[in-house]
Structure 1
């Protein structure tokens, strides 16, 4: 399967399900940026339930911008906030200490553009998961594709996934199982079993 998908911030589990179960992956990088999506948002499991980590961007709906041209609003100390949120949410998870050092470049490196940050997210997470994938980038935007499976709808925040099997989450006893969070939730809780879990699921 050849998959077409958006690179997103700390991709959710459905995104990585599509990636892991593909023969080749194409990242859509030629579209117009749209708000209210996972392009600049990830969801984790905090002490009070689902918690959004949003990368602030400088974007106006009046002036359409290409995804690759949208800048991060770095005057907000979002990297520090995100790291603290992850530490608070997952410091007690089985594999947090094992992976957090690998992720630190995402919190310590200056990024000017949201697309560059998202691509770096994928690179680091792929290394952590030991995935042998080299995604290609699109060169032109196509509304419809005939030679790839189109997973671009996964970028929508209202896309629901109910078919994934539960796994143990840090706060399961308080709030129950929350599906399709950021891949970080699965990684910190399942560690090396993450890829096997993904291959066993259906979407």
Structure 2
């Protein structure tokens, strides 16, 4: 059965495990919501868990609502340069940063505007790095209870995040901060490299958001 997901910014390990284990359909007709993984991800730095946040242009007026697919990133300051510099500082001593550096660095240049499409680019880039193909199929309408799909859209929620029983792996600053679970898949990739796909395939997914 196919799985329904939101494209998020360098998705969490749990979300990328879902991408690796199922054929994905992307939700393209929902409203944008703040404080979700739609425009943020978490990495590990020397100071602990750190958020990388993509600024977006907010719509005016009383409604203030906009479709996720219509959200435009705020590029008036160079957040891409800032994010890449932070990643370099955090992971330059990790075992596989240099191995994937050239592939990933291209994402942090260029005039991207659509948050939805940029997130799809980050997902495709990671998929290429680990050797899988990610479908581009999107929904044609919004459904509260989609039929014939595993609804895993809750994985985009950053505030009420599910607790996962995940196997630990060696992180750059683990001695300082202990193991930090379910960071961005970037953390797994830079630390585990060629073992990333097998880790994702064996990730014990429980897709019941009420568990």
| TM-score of Structure 1 vs Structure 2, range by shorter chain | over 0.9
- The CA distance in 2 between the partners of 1:143 and 1:67, in whole Å, is 16
TM-score (norm 1): 0.96
Q: Which runs of 5+ in 1 are unaligned?
A: none
**Cα contact 2:124–2:134 (8 A) shared by 1:** no
- The CA distance in 2 between the partners of 1:116 and 1:105, in whole Å, is 15
Match of 1:173 in 2: 175
**Cα contact 2:37–2:156 (8 A) shared by 1:** yes
After TM superposition, the runs of 4+ consecutive aligned structure 1 residues lying more than 4 A away are none
- The CA distance in 1 between the partners of 2:9 and 2:200, in whole Å, is 19
Match status 1:68 vs 2:69: yes
- The CA distance in 1 between the partners of 2:136 and 2:118, in whole Å, is 15
- The CA distance in 2 between the partners of 1:102 and 1:183, in whole Å, is 15
Match of 1:59 in 2: 58
**Cα contact 2:57–2:73 (8 A) shared by 1:** yes
- The CA distance in 1 between the partners of 2:137 and 2:199, in whole Å, is 25
- The CA distance in 2 between the partners of 1:134 and 1:71, in whole Å, is 23
CA RMSD of aligned residues (A): 1.2
**Cα contact 2:14–2:203 (8 A) shared by 1:** no
Give the CA deviation at 1:110.
1.2
Residues 8-67 of structure 1 deviation map (CA, whole Å, 9 limit, x = unaligned): 011110111111111x21011111111110000010001010000000001248321111
Give the CA deviation at 1:196.
0.3
Match of 1:14 in 2: 14
Q: Secondary structure at the match of 2:50?
A: strand
Match of 2:40 in 1: 41
Aligned residue pairs total 202
Match of 1:131 in 2: 132
TM-score (norm 2): 0.93
Q: 1:183 aligns with which of 182, 185, 189?
A: 185
Give the CA deviation at 1:198.
1.1
Change in 2 beyond 3 A, CA 1:135/1:164:
farther
What pairs up with 1:13-162 in 2 under 5 angstroms? 13-22=13-22, 24-60=23-59, 62-158=63-159, 159-162=161-164
Match of 2:209 in 1: none
**Cα contact 1:27–1:138 (8 A) shared by 2:** yes
Q: Which runs of 5+ in 2 are unaligned?
A: 206-211
Deviates more, 1:52-61 or 1:104-113: 52-61
**Cα contact 2:26–2:139 (8 A) shared by 1:** yes
- The CA distance in 2 between the partners of 1:29 and 1:132, in whole Å, is 19
- The CA distance in 2 between the partners of 1:167 and 1:49, in whole Å, is 16
